[in-house]
């Protein structure tokens, strides 16, 4: 029952009742990542949808920038933690995912086989994983329940689009 109590707190399952969450719970795996640990790297095989119970995960991608682009970034003074230079080169942080939030949903919805970004644990993090094949089984077995899950995914994606819109405007304004 402790697992169900934790899953009920996840935004991915916000429209589900306890019985529906109990049905999904049998498919969920718990994962623990230490600070700096990779949940996945760019090019790794996709697994499914991850849900954060504690900790923080950064979703980011390495950038291959030429000298002109690097100079433009510096000249425009886009000094944010979204595009940054690290000891491993330039990278773009798309999101920081925290308690109750989820990531990896696009790979499931789009049926991708490889990740196009990396997910790194910013601090020790406890995650739940709903594997893609189990997500697909649930879609077939309980389509009405999974419509509610898809609604939660759509709500999250809508929020991400609004955030991206603000980031683009900020970059265009040079702030």
pLDDT for residue 31 is more than 80: yes
Q: Please state the rounded mean pLDDT for residues 147-162.
A: 89
Q: Please state the rounded mean pLDDT for residues 39-55.
A: 96
**What percent of the chain has pLDDT above 70?**
79
Three-class SS string for 112-171?
A: CCECCCEEEECCCEEEEEEEHHHHHHHHHHCHHHHHHHHHHHHHHHHHHHHHHHHHHHHH
CATH number of this structure's domain 2-173, picked from the four choices 1.10.150.110, 3.30.420.240, 2.60.120.10, 3.40.50.720: 2.60.120.10
Tokens of 68: 């002109």
**What percent of the chain has pLDDT above 90?**
63
pTM for the model stands at 0.82
Helix (H) / strand (E) element for 22: namely helix 18-25
The whole-chain average pLDDT of the chain stands at: 85
Using alpha carbons only, what angle is made at residue 48 by residues 18 and 6, rounded to the nearest 5 degrees? 30
For the ranges 19-23, 31-35, 131-135, 161-165, which has the lowest average pLDDT? 161-165
pLDDT for residue 173 is more than 90: no
pLDDT for residue 78 is more than 60: no
Tokens of 138: 């649930």
Tokens of 96: 């920081």
Of residues 49, 61, 64, 139, the one with CA closest to residue 103: 49
Contacts of residue 21, Cβ cutoff 8 Å, sequence gap at least 6: 4, 7, 8, 13
Length in residues, the chain? 175
Helices 132-141, 143-173: crossing angle, 10 deg rounding:
130
Q: pLDDT tens digit string along 81-129?
A: 566 556 566 677 778 999 999 999 989 999 999 998 999 999 999 999 9
Contacts of residue 93, Cβ cutoff 8 Å, sequence gap at least 6: 58, 59, 60, 81, 82, 83, 84
């Amino acid at each position: 029952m402790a697992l169900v109590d934790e899953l009920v707190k996840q935004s991915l399952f916000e429209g589900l009742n306890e019985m529906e969450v109990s049905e999904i719970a049998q498919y969920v795996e718990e994962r623990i990542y230490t600070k700096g640990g990779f949940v996945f790297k760019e090019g790794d095989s996709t697994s499914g949808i991850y849900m954060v119970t504690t900790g923080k995960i950064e979703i980011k991608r390495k950038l291959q920038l030429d000298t002109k682009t690097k100079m433009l970034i510096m000249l425009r003074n886009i000094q944010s933690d979204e595009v940054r230079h690290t000891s491993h080169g330039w990278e773009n942080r798309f999101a920081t995912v925290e308690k109750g939030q989820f990531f990896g949903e696009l790979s499931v919805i789009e049926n991708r086989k490889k990740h196009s970004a990396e997910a790194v644990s910013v601090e020790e993090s406890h995650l739940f994983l709903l594997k893609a094949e189990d997500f697909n089984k649930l879609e077939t077995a309980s389509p009405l329940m999974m419509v509610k899950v898809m609604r939660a995914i759509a709500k999250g994606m809508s929020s991400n689009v609004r955030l991206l819109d603000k980031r683009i405007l900020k970059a265009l304004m040079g702030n």
